[in-house]
Structure 1
Amino acid sequence: MNVLITGATSGIGKQLAMDYAKAGHHVVACGRNKEALQALEQEFPDTIAGQQLDITHADETLQNLRPYTDLDVVILSAGVCEYVDIDHFEADMFARVFNVNVVGTMRCVEALLPNLKAGSKLVIVGSTARLLPFTKAEAYGGSKAAIHYITRSLQVDLAPRGIKVLSVSPGFVETPMTSQNDFEMPMQVTPEFASASIRKGIEKNTLDITFPRTFGWFLKFSSRLPQSWQVALSRRFSK
């Protein structure tokens, strides 16, 4: 199986690349960190090919991704997180976050979609942060809510072509990005757990891959509560 993964130089993307490579699949690992890509290639010389890529650069993304034509699974996991300082509100921060999490991800879709065939799987990584109005998460959660909606619409539009589109909504995962958080992260899981959950969901064609299960269930249930209750609940989490 041929797999292309963005955000493959750290966190969930890196773990996915290594696990697919260990299973004997051929992986195109995409990311900005040249040294990290080289390290992956050295560790898995027969199964991983690195592709240096910054998805915020439109021409670079299109030129570098379009040559990959024989892909069974595409996993778009590149993303960033910044938190709002409500006393120093900055619209440019929203532009930075959305440029990676939404626009950059869609650049990858633009580049790769013409090459996907019936039976291919397009997997887009979002976040459970989209489910509740968490404190300081206006930009990050907003971008993940947008990407989840886009993914659902792609499920509709690509179904006639036989292309499976799967959404991934992780909870808290031990990654370099979450290591910067200064708040409690309940039910945090390891990258190994995240990778196993995603790979299992992809194998089963699960449209909404959410993990860990209990945390995801709680947030999905909470998102159905009246909005005033959701705000009160999120305020309690922020204390």
Structure 2
Amino acid sequence: MKHILITGASSGIGKALASLYANEGHTVYAGGRDFKKLNLLCRSNNKIRPFICDVTDINDIQLASKNLPKLDIIILNAGDCEYIDDPINFDGQLFARVINTNLISVGYCLQVLLKHLKPNGNLAFTSSSAAFLPLTRTQAYGASKAGLNYLAKSLSIDLKTHNINVSLINPGFVSTPLTDKNTFSMPGIISSDLAAKYIVKGLNKNKSEINIPPLFTFIMKLFSYLPFFIWQKIAVRMIQK
């Protein structure tokens, strides 16, 4: 049985992954800031242990990691989404907040947690299919995920010599508390439980990219191969409707 650490495990994809792995008999360290939510999750399965910390605070991560065992899998899943609704009055503080939560915090986690990962272990990053294409209102979120994609792919090269496999998870629309706030149509949306099954299957195969759901993310990637001026015209027409 494996020892698995998952950040952002108090809800959404992270929570579904924690439950799925624990139900398979693995020991899961479920990360998050919300003690009440994590406590409820741990009560649901005695294979789940709380890993309570704020991933934007490196001291907090170090403190929470003191008694961690050697890990087989680390899934850096914590993240947030906020939109830029007024591009003329660009909200720099919102931009910094999203970049800090979705990208800078990952660097803190890597600094502390990589030392706990076993040789031949798996390191996974939860990014987004939003990184494939520039989309309306996603200047902060998309930039953070595009940066995360580059980080993961670059790190996969350097960690190969250390026998560490790196996987990049690119979800489309998944039903979570974050997407519940969206007021627009979300084509191809799937449940967190189904997303977790796709992810676990992909990690078991050491896949370098796990794109879910397959059809939606395939279409997004196809659009990404268009010359940018064509995609820009399509995207502008979409927001003008």
Taking structure 2 as the reference length, the TM-score comes to 0.96
Structure-2 residue corresponding to 1:169: 170
Deviations 1:203-237 (A, max 9, x none): 00110100111111111111111001111222233
Structure-2 residue corresponding to 1:96: 97
Deviations 1:72-129 (A, max 9, x none): 0000100000000224311111110010100111111111112223211000000000
1:34 matched to 2:40: no
Q: Which whole-Å CA distance do the structure 1 matches of 2:235 and 2:153 have between them?
A: 25
Structure-2 residue corresponding to 1:25: 26
SS of 2:135 mapped into structure 1: coil
Structure-1 residue corresponding to 2:120: 119
Structure-2 residue corresponding to 1:59: 59
SS of 1:149 mapped into structure 2: helix
Structure-2 residue corresponding to 1:155: 156
SS of 2:218 mapped into structure 1: helix
Q: Which whole-Å CA distance do the structure 2 matches of 1:182 and 1:83 have between them?
A: 12
Q: Which whole-Å CA distance do the structure 2 matches of 1:161 and 1:139 have between them?
A: 33
Q: Which amino acid aligns with 1:138?
A: Q
SS of 1:167 mapped into structure 2: strand
How many matched pairs? 238
Structure-2 residue corresponding to 1:68: 68
Higher strand content, 1 or 2: 2
Q: Which whole-Å CA distance do the structure 2 matches of 1:66 and 1:96 have between them?
A: 27
SS of 1:82 mapped into structure 2: coil
Check conservation: 1:29, 1:48, Cα contact below 8 A: yes
Q: Which whole-Å CA distance do the structure 2 matches of 1:160 and 1:69 have between them?
A: 23
Q: Which whole-Å CA distance do the structure 2 matches of 1:193 and 1:236 have between them?
A: 32
Identity among equivalent positions (%) equals 39
Q: Which whole-Å CA distance do the structure 1 matches of 2:28 and 2:231 have between them?
A: 41
Q: Which whole-Å CA distance do the structure 2 matches of 1:154 and 1:196 have between them?
A: 25
> Unaligned regions of 5+ residues in structure 1, if any?
none
Q: Which whole-Å CA distance do the structure 2 matches of 1:69 and 1:192 have between them?
A: 27
SS of 2:18 mapped into structure 1: helix
Q: Which amino acid aligns with 2:219?
A: F
Check conservation: 2:74, 2:117, Cα contact below 8 A: no
Structure-2 residue corresponding to 1:80: 80
Deviations 1:1-46 (A, max 9, x none): 111000000000000000111111100001011001110111112x
How far apart are residue 66 of structure 1 and its match? 5.0
Q: Which whole-Å CA distance do the structure 2 matches of 1:18 and 1:115 have between them?
A: 22
1:8 matched to 2:9: yes
SS of 2:140 mapped into structure 1: helix
Q: Which whole-Å CA distance do the structure 1 matches of 2:238 and 2:147 have between them?
A: 23
SS of 1:83 mapped into structure 2: coil
How far apart are residue 67 of structure 1 and its match? 3.6
1:106 matched to 2:77: no
